[in-house]
Amino acid sequence: MKPVIVLLTDFGLSDPYVGMMKGVIANINPGTRIIDLTHDIPKYGIEVAAYVLKSTYRYFPKKSIFNVVVDPGVGSARRPLIVRSGNYLFVGPDNGVLLPAATDDGLVDAYEINPRTAGLPEISWTFHGRDIFAPTAALLSLGVTPESLGSKVSVEELVSVDVPPKKPKLISEGTVAITVFYVDSFGNVILSTDIRSLMKTLKLKLGDIVEISTNLPGSRWLRAKLARTFSEVNPGELAVYEGSLRLAEVAVYLSAASRTLGVGAGDIIYLRKAQ
């Protein structure tokens, strides 16, 4: 089977950045297979990228190489890394984006990439995705070992980030506050807790009606159904359910919950059982 390199960035697709990374990889190893996980991580969204990576890596073939470039600290003293887990390799910046997935799979060791060994002949200050991380991933796909491309570092020294799921915060009897973690392209509001914790905290069961409000001015309580999927409510109605990233989500069937609630990442959702 051809080696697989999986790309995860916050670059979007309107600029040439992703294409240049793929060009570098293809020049070094034309036989590798490149898969785009997503390039629409919110700009500088380290925590979102870390959680998306942790939630998805296991769906890829073992020995896949994840090339992750969500790197607001590019050009600073932050280290470029290869992190090895039980079944995968992760390449990217030492800003926490790699660690949750690697730890989940069984963290083995980590290496600080030597750009003189693994990078392109000319390395810019602002595009290590092209000049360091892409060639490193390509060399790994050829079977070059991490030990040959950098120096070993203590895994205890690696930067970590706090990713969901988090326990809902009980702010009064029967009411919780939950942070909006992410809003997807459908306008579904992905929360920082999982559905089981939410149900346990509020003593809910599937089919129950809940009420949702926010911390924003003028917010009012809206009714929603605790469901298996958003299609269990009528078009235009709110549903709370477990999404594909295994977090609780709020959706409006055939519309955008983010627009209905007026929320974005970092806002607070209040949720209670319907009165």
Strands (E), 18-129: 33-38, 65-69, 80-85, 89-93, 107-113
State how far Cα 251 lies from the chain centre: 19
CATH ID of 4-157, from 3.40.50.10790, 3.40.50.300, 2.115.10.20, 3.20.10.10: 3.40.50.10790
Phi and psi at residue 59, to the nearest 5°: -85, 0
pLDDT of residue 1: 78
Task: Output the CA torsion sign for 256, 257, 261, 262.
Answer: negative
Number of residues that this document lists for the chain: 275
pLDDT of residue 84: 98
pLDDT of residue 122: 96
Q: What is the mean pLDDT of residues 55-83?
A: 97
Residue 224: pLDDT over 90: yes
Confidence bin at 272 (pLDDT 50/70/90): very high
Q: Which percentage of the chain shows pLDDT scores above 90?
A: 98
Residue 275: pLDDT over 90: no
pTM for the model stands at 0.95
Q: What is the mean pLDDT of residues 213-237?
A: 96
pLDDT of residue 148: 98
Those residues with Cβ within 8 angstroms of residue 67's Cβ, 6 or more apart along the chain or in another chain: 5, 6, 7, 8, 21, 91, 92, 129, 133, 134, 136, 137
Is 169-273 CATH 2.40.30.90? yes
Reported as a single tens digit per residue, the pLDDT across 133-188 is: 999 999 999 999 999 999 999 999 999 999 999 999 999 989 999 999 999 999 99
* Number of CB atoms found within 10 A of residue 268's CB: 16
Residue 220: pLDDT over 90: yes
Q: What angle do CA 221, 222, 227 make, to 5 degrees?
A: 135
Residue 2: pLDDT over 90: no
Residue 99: pLDDT over 90: yes
Which ranges in the chain are annotated with CATH 3.40.50.10790? Answer: 4-157
Which ranges in the chain are annotated with CATH 2.40.30.90? Answer: 169-273
Reported as a single tens digit per residue, the pLDDT across 185-213 is: 999 999 999 999 999 999 999 999 999 99
Q: Which percentage of the chain shows pLDDT scores above 70?
A: 100
Q: What is the mean pLDDT of residues 41-66?
A: 98
